[in-house]
Chains A and B, each alone.
Chain A
Amino acid sequence: MEYFIQQLINGLTLGSIYGLVAIGYTMVYGIIGMINFAHGDIFMLGGFAALIVFLILTSFFAGIPVALLLLVMLIVGMLMTGLWNWTIERVAYRPLRGSFRLAPLITAIGMSITLSNFIQVTQGPRNKPIPQLVTDVYHIGAITISLKQLIIVAVTSALLFAFWYIVNKTPLGRAQRATEQDRKMAALLGVDVDRTISVTFVMGAALAAVAGSMYLMYYGVSNFNDGFIPGVKAFTAAVLGGIGSLPGAVLGGLMIGLIESLWSAYFTIAYKDVATFVILAFVLIFKPTGILGRPEVEKV
């Protein structure tokens, strides 16, 4: 039982990270109906930004409090990836809006290849390890909870709340929801559609940066290739939860995290990624709308 609860905690931690990345996929898909293949690499860029900020800060201010350090890592990472995703949307996706459907998909794949190879070229192909930032561990009976797990879950929840508030309660969120429902009508009613889409990309990227920093803190290592597998898993999460639905993305992320850690605990660790992909295939084949998604009507 303790073992099960332990795995549950690990799974929830991992799931929060996937959920954060999944939001970026689901929002972009919801608003312009495109799979942003480069989003996984934006997550990786966020991790690298946090890594570099960590190195700079610790070399200048040796005794900097960990909380402040984490905060700066998060903020710089969010600004960085926000800027990148804004530029990518502007340069590679916006000119192709209204063009034929495969064109943005191809540029997104091209951007994904470009970003991971850009980091490989500028920062080197090796794994980048950093020392453990947060080492505190709490014991409750036989269960171990580390402080970093608590931080990850807390930051994720806080951000989700902030995000939920923006999307549901602010004029910006209203513009986003309007654009998602009917872009042309929203434009007619005075919504600046281009700006709204840009903001959506920036918001998704900021959440991915948080996820990237958390991933770095949790595993203590960064690599240029880290974008693809977590990216696909987060996309799986978005689809599982019902693409286009924000609570669905988080729910899907948590489920993917749980499935992964429980699968590794009770079956074989070797096939844990296979398990994720099989679930993805099954969900898409039998319930393409996901758990919380809206059904898509086929029109002539």
Chain B
Amino acid sequence: MAAPSENTSSGLMVKAVREGIFAGVIALGMFILYVGIETYQDIDNRLVWRTRWGLLAIFVAVAAIGRFLMVGVIKPHLDRRKLAKAKSGILEISEEKSFFHRHFLKIALIALLLYPMASVWLFGTQGSLKYVDNFGIQILIYVMLAWGLNIVVGLAGLLDLGYVAFYAVGAYSYALLSAHLGLSFWVLLPLAGILAALWGVILGFPVLRLRGDYLAIVTLAFGEIIRLVLINWTDVTRGTFGISGIKKASVFGIWSFDVGSPNYFPKAFGLATSSAYYKIFLFYVILALCLLTAYVTIRLRRMPIGRAWEALREDEIACRSLGINTVTTKLTAFATGAMFGGFAGSFFATRQGFVSPESFVFLESAVILAIVVLGGMGSLTGIAIAAVVMVGGTELLREMAFLKLVFGPDFTPELYRMLLFGLAMVIVMLFKPRGFVGTREPTAFLKERKVVSGSFTKEGHG
């Protein structure tokens, strides 16, 4: 037994070395122009070039060694583990889940409620700003957007690549209406949601007949049209300059966060003047909005309309033959998804105090869709995890000042944010095509509730 296994392992090494060299050669070809040569403008503003062979060598070496390890070490290891598992014949089904697993939602909720307090306690009032705003609020906005899009993509199976349009409608509704009509955030929040839902119906109506990739492209076109109109309709939107000085939200009109106001929140409670309180307040607002989205999604799934959405995703033709009105089913999905996008948009406007078309590019739609798919379409927990990993991970890069010590003072980690985001999208999809959470909870069941694998649910044709 020993000799053949030795043979195969040396054969494996030869194969790994060959594959590694091949990968290195390919990488050399791919990167020689783009990494090996740097183009820059000299003092006369003329474009000139210089070589970067050292960097090129690093790229090639990483590709070659990475491929070598992949073929020679990681893949055989995974194969062996799979084989051992299959041989042992025991499928690990532990009925008894851990305490953490059973109470995951409660723990997560309590942690989120305590998060701003904890960061104030740990980092001081000013120090908490970064954690509450950059991480907390930023991630929760994406969680909310992704949960909103999940209604359209995950439940109804309608692939929407222009979701950011409804986000923009919500943001601009709040910005314009608060500037011109002087209405408060709490009045405009539902109004922005209604307007976005209306746009959801308007844009949804013409695309009712479309399915699959065609639907994706038309929604992409609608998203771009709305952005281009925002750029070019300068009389109303001030074009690329955007709208600034958007009013802050108040605590239901009782306390305000404008420093000059007589009932300025920190003053009313005898606290020092700081913008951190406003951010903490906003954190709870977006948390409440997220919970609302989740609650509505969970409840709707048990209602006839939610069941109709999921039926539509599974099989549109069967749906129609059973007498489900696909027109209203699709339109309500678009409208409900758009409404949550509108809520998130008006929240975004009040948080930033500034909106411009820059914030509503196609990339945003792609990021939101990526979060939905990477999390596992239809699984709220999975989507939240994906938002934390993807958005939190890229935000974390802003904080990695220590990398400057490794790569020199010119190194700015922020530059690599979207590059890594794109790579992460590819890698996660390659290893987990069904998303982080591979199980789904059906709402209809025969005797007892059981989770099923995500591969049993379809992704819809439309």
Contacts and interface: CB of A to CB of B under 8 A. Distances in A.
A76 B32 CA distance: 12
Most buried by A among B26, B370, B422, B424: B422
Given A271-B228, A280-B221, A52 B49 contact: yes
Nearest to B458: A100
A83 B28 CA distance: 11
Most buried by B among A35, A48, A228, A281: A281
A281 B206 contact: yes
A183 B221 CA distance: 31
A95 interface: yes
B214 A55 contact: no
Contact of B459 (A101, A113, A239, A288): A101
Contacts, number: 173
A107 B218 contact: no
Contact of B429 (A110, A271, A273): A110
A121 B48 contact: no
Most buried by A among B228, B418, B426: B426
B95 to A, nearest CB: 29
A155 interface: no
Interface string A97-125: 00111110111011111110111111110
Interface string B399-419: 000000000000000011011
B374 interface: yes
B111 interface: no
Contact of A121 (B159, B206, B366, B419): B419
B360 to A, nearest CB: 14
Given A92-B430, A273-B228, A300-B317, A119 B217 contact: no
B423 A114 contact: yes
B423 A99 contact: no
Interface stretch (B36-44, B269-277, B278-286): B36-44
A113 B416 CA distance: 11
Given A106-B429, A121-B415, A83 B26 contact: yes
A277 B217 CA distance: 10
Contacts of A29: 213
Interface stretch (A126-134, A138-146, A164-172): A126-134
Contacts of A118: 34, 419
A232 interface: yes
B220 A232 contact: yes
Given A123-B34, A277-B228, A51 B39 contact: yes
A235 interface: yes
A300 B317 CA distance: 7
A99 B30 contact: no
A274 interface: yes
Given A112-B422, A117-B419, A123-B38, A277 B366 contact: no
A72 interface: no
B370 A106 contact: yes
Interface string B26-64: 100110011101111100000111000000000000000
A48 B34 contact: yes
A55 to B, nearest CB: 5
A258 B247 CA distance: 45
Interface residues on A, range: 35 or more
B39 A281 contact: no
B37 A56 contact: yes
A51 B33 CA distance: 10
B30 A83 contact: yes
Contacts of A45: 34
B39 A55 contact: yes
B112 interface: no
B224 interface: yes
Nearest to A56: B49
A263 to B, nearest CB: 13
Contact of A103 (B49, B212, B214, B433): B433
B221 A281 contact: yes
B370 A52 contact: no
Contacts of B30: 80, 83-84, 87
Nearest to B434: A100
A113 B425 contact: yes
A126 B228 contact: no
Given A100-B459, A122-B35, A284-B217, A277 B430 contact: no
A122 B36 CA distance: 9
Contacts of B220: 232
A95 B433 CA distance: 10
Nearest to A111: B426
A101 B459 CA distance: 7
Given A100-B455, A110-B429, A232-B221, 13 more contacts: A35-B217, A49-B34, A51-B47, A80-B29, A100-B434, A100-B459, A105-B213, A107-B429, A109-B369, A110-B424, A113-B363, A123-B38, A235-B217
8 contacts: A91-B426, A101-B459, A110-B421, A110-B426, A110-B429, A113-B425, A114-B423, A285-B206
Interface of A: 29, 33-35, 45, 48-49, 51-53, 55-56, 59, 76, 79-80, 83-84, 87, 91-92, 95-96, 99-103, 105-107, 109-115, 117-124, 126, 128-130, 228, 232, 235-236, 239, 270-271, 273-274, 277-278, 280-281, 284-285, 288, 298, 300
Shortest beta-carbon contacts, A-B, top 7: A110-B425, A113-B422, A114-B422, A117-B419, A277-B221, A110-B426, A103-B433
